[in-house]
Chains A and B, each alone.
Chain A
């Protein structure tokens, strides 16, 4: 599903250049649930952003579902993001003047799905994350956990091939974190490929595979026995 070869990325900081990714090789099959770990500055978010086409690598190859991702125009990138990828951010990034349902329906709007079908689908995904009753509430009327669940519903609404989550539990307490991870595990159980960036050990162990990044290179890549989040959630 995801295949990257010798990926490099550096940032210009004034006259200095900061080499963040120093040759990453990595593949992920369909249906995997991968945790990308590392301390801050290890390059894990940069890697995720490149995988999500939010940022561009300096060199290296990237194939997503067999499609080479290279030198895309913004229009093309927008199309691929819409078709292939769903994003979950640490700070939720919901649009604050739109209701939960409208937020979830937004990717479908950019897919040119009709209004009625959009709203039906949005309600369906909100139901999956247990927030059907909150469909017409604005984000500032929701708790942090609820906001993240709306964001996950939004990411899933476009039925992407890969779900990318950048510290999805970073702004949540542990109880809510486990609820969110339970949701992510359920989505993974349905066969979706998910990449989670995190620096929390317990969250990482709820995935099926952990990749450790240090100073821009992969230092460890191991399959693990998944801890089910549902055991923490009553």
Chain B
């Protein structure tokens, strides 16, 4: 089927019908080009959205203690709730498989001094997992590690803003910093893409902070991220379980809504995700419409080609061409043109997207890119369906009586 003669036939008829070849090729390439740009734009918008919500991990759960509002189990209403280290161990131990990262937060404000510069900053005592929960990016040095926590090291990771204000142009890593009269060593500098205020914070091991502030075993907040494989329902269910279990453990009325608050990001993020997936469906819808337009276009051109070649088809049939050979002649030519131009258009548009993608970084539109497999699939579908659209007219042309074909002009 694919011998040299067949290719020569195709090459001949393409070369001798340059306009027709160009028009077919252009319409296919154009369809793919538009499709790629559309997909890239939607991707860019999605990336933009996700960046807006990039402050904290999207699967975070924060638990903030407050005070009870109902008397329960012998306690009066208005009791202040405090989480303690053994509560942390309990949650971590009981739900290890549901938890991805886990860290307490112990917040205090401290006054700092480095050489002539002074300032007051919020210090958060955390465990190493907090880096992933807050999505802190280490710019210099390192984050806290498990040894720091276990040995209650006086080490700190400072935000980029703190570095600017206290250290000016000096490299802070390895420097000693005076905080509330105590000497801490700076081990790293972090930044935060989602939240610049975050960069005025300082992180220290929570054990160190508990020791400094009255040898306490309390923490202010419990922060964690749930298992990222959880869907919305399971994530919400996990949050509810935590609430229930903590109420029982801390002797709180099951209906008490103010003893502590569970802030489950699954709730808010599901809205963003549903908008994101809505966008995706819109893109798929428009993409399908473009594909249909492309298919109709290819079908149209094929019908035109067949009309134009009717007489030639008649001559070939008079010389003994079987219908299958006529179909082959027309379809193979269109397959070659659509394939070459389809992939040409695809490479061209992907090249453009790849070239402009790094340049675009607006708040709601960032890093527009395309999934190669999607684009290749679309191209293949377009070629395949376009050829299918041309199959019917070419079968009809192949079976027309030669005398009718010969009469055509």
Measured CB to CB, the closest approach of chain B to A40, in angstroms, equals 15
B318 touching A74 by the CB < 8 A rule? no
SS class, residues of chain B in contact with chain A: helix
Per-residue interface assignment for chain B, residues 12 to 53, with 1 indicating a CB less than 8 Å from any chain A CB and 0 otherwise: 110111000000000000000000000000000000000000
B401 touching A106 by the CB < 8 A rule? no
Q: Is B323 an interface residue (CB 8 A)?
A: yes
Closest residue of chain A to B405 (Cβ to Cβ) is A54
Measured CB to CB, the closest approach of chain A to B325, in angstroms, equals 7
Per-residue interface assignment for chain B, residues 304 to 326, with 1 indicating a CB less than 8 Å from any chain A CB and 0 otherwise: 00000001101111111111110
A74 touching B398 by the CB < 8 A rule? yes
Measured CB to CB, the closest approach of chain B to A105, in angstroms, equals 10
B315 touching A82 by the CB < 8 A rule? no
B5 touching A79 by the CB < 8 A rule? no
Closest residue of chain B to A87 (Cβ to Cβ) is B318
Measured CB to CB, the closest approach of chain A to B23, in angstroms, equals 18
A106 touching B316 by the CB < 8 A rule? yes
A158 touching B320 by the CB < 8 A rule? yes
Other-chain contact of A78, B4, B13, B317 (Cβ < 8 Å): B317
B5 touching A115 by the CB < 8 A rule? yes
Listed residue (A83, A110, A115) with the most chain B CB atoms within 10 angstroms of its CB = A110
Q: Is A26 an interface residue (CB 8 A)?
A: no
Q: Is A109 an interface residue (CB 8 A)?
A: yes
Q: Which residues of A contact B12 (CB under 8 A)?
A: 97-98
Q: Is B403 an interface residue (CB 8 A)?
A: yes
Q: Which residues of A contact B5 (CB under 8 A)?
A: 109, 115
B321 touching A110 by the CB < 8 A rule? yes
Q: Is B402 an interface residue (CB 8 A)?
A: yes
Listed residue (B318, B325, B398) with the most chain A CB atoms within 10 angstroms of its CB = B318
Per-residue interface assignment for chain A, residues 83 to 127, with 1 indicating a CB less than 8 Å from any chain B CB and 0 otherwise: 100010100011111100000001101110001000000000000
Closest residue of chain B to A97 (Cβ to Cβ) is B16
Q: Which residues of B contact A94 (CB under 8 A)?
A: 315
CA distance A98 to B315 in the complex (A): 13
Q: Which residues of A contact B17 (CB under 8 A)?
A: 97
Q: Which residues of A contact B13 (CB under 8 A)?
A: 97
Listed residue (A74, A94, A96) with the most chain B CB atoms within 10 angstroms of its CB = A74
Closest residue of chain B to A106 (Cβ to Cβ) is B319
B321 touching A78 by the CB < 8 A rule? yes
Q: Is B406 an interface residue (CB 8 A)?
A: yes
Q: Is B98 an interface residue (CB 8 A)?
A: no
Per-residue interface assignment for chain B, residues 383 to 409, with 1 indicating a CB less than 8 Å from any chain A CB and 0 otherwise: 000000000000000110111001000
With A98-B12, A109-B5 as known contacts, state yes or no: A54 contacts B401, CB within 8 Å: yes
CA distance A81 to B398 in the complex (A): 15
A83 touching B311 by the CB < 8 A rule? no
Listed residue (B15, B314, B317) with the most chain A CB atoms within 10 angstroms of its CB = B317
Q: Which residues of B contact A17 (CB under 8 A)?
A: none
Within 8 A of B (CB), among A198-230: none
Q: Which residues of A contact B401 (CB under 8 A)?
A: 54-56
Measured CB to CB, the closest approach of chain B to A88, in angstroms, equals 10
A81 touching B318 by the CB < 8 A rule? yes
A110 touching B4 by the CB < 8 A rule? no
Within 8 A of A (CB), among B250-265: none
Measured CB to CB, the closest approach of chain B to A73, in angstroms, equals 9
With A75-B323, A79-B320 as known contacts, state yes or no: A89 contacts B406, CB within 8 Å: yes
Other-chain contact of B319, A55, A74, A75, A87 (Cβ < 8 Å): A87
Q: Which residues of B contact A89 (CB under 8 A)?
A: 406
A54 touching B320 by the CB < 8 A rule? no
A107 touching B320 by the CB < 8 A rule? yes
B321 touching A115 by the CB < 8 A rule? no
Measured CB to CB, the closest approach of chain A to B292, in angstroms, equals 32
Other-chain contact of A75, B4, B16, B318, B322 (Cβ < 8 Å): B322
B320 touching A95 by the CB < 8 A rule? no
B320 touching A81 by the CB < 8 A rule? yes
Q: Is A149 an interface residue (CB 8 A)?
A: no
A81 touching B317 by the CB < 8 A rule? yes
CA distance A118 to B320 in the complex (A): 15
Q: Which residues of A contact B320 (CB under 8 A)?
A: 78-79, 81-83, 107, 110-111, 158
Q: Which residues of A contact B318 (CB under 8 A)?
A: 52, 54, 81, 87, 93
B398 touching A82 by the CB < 8 A rule? no
Q: Which residues of B contact A83 (CB under 8 A)?
A: 320
Closest residue of chain A to B311 (Cβ to Cβ) is A93
Closest residue of chain B to A154 (Cβ to Cβ) is B319
Closest residue of chain A to B3 (Cβ to Cβ) is A115
Q: Which residues of B contact A79 (CB under 8 A)?
A: 320, 322
CA distance A47 to B316 in the complex (A): 21
CA distance A106 to B106 in the complex (A): 89
Q: Which residues of A contact B402 (CB under 8 A)?
A: 54-55, 81
Measured CB to CB, the closest approach of chain A to B138, in angstroms, equals 68
With A54-B402, A55-B401 as known contacts, state yes or no: A78 contacts B322, CB within 8 Å: yes
CA distance A137 to B17 in the complex (A): 18
Closest 7 pairs (CB-CB, A-B): A82-B320, A97-B16, A54-B403, A110-B320, A78-B322, A55-B403, A54-B402
Which of B's residues lie within 8 Å of A, judged by CB?
4-5, 12-13, 15-17, 311-312, 314-325, 398-399, 401-403, 406
Known: A75-B322, A106-B319, A110-B321. 17 other contacts (CB 8 A): A54-B403, A54-B406, A74-B323, A81-B317, A81-B318, A81-B320, A93-B311, A93-B315, A93-B318, A94-B315, A96-B16, A97-B16, A97-B17, A106-B316, A107-B320, A109-B5, A110-B322
Pull 10 A–B residue pairs with CB atoms less than 8 Å apart, ordered by A.
A74-B323, A75-B322, A79-B322, A81-B317, A81-B319, A89-B406, A94-B315, A107-B319, A110-B319, A158-B319
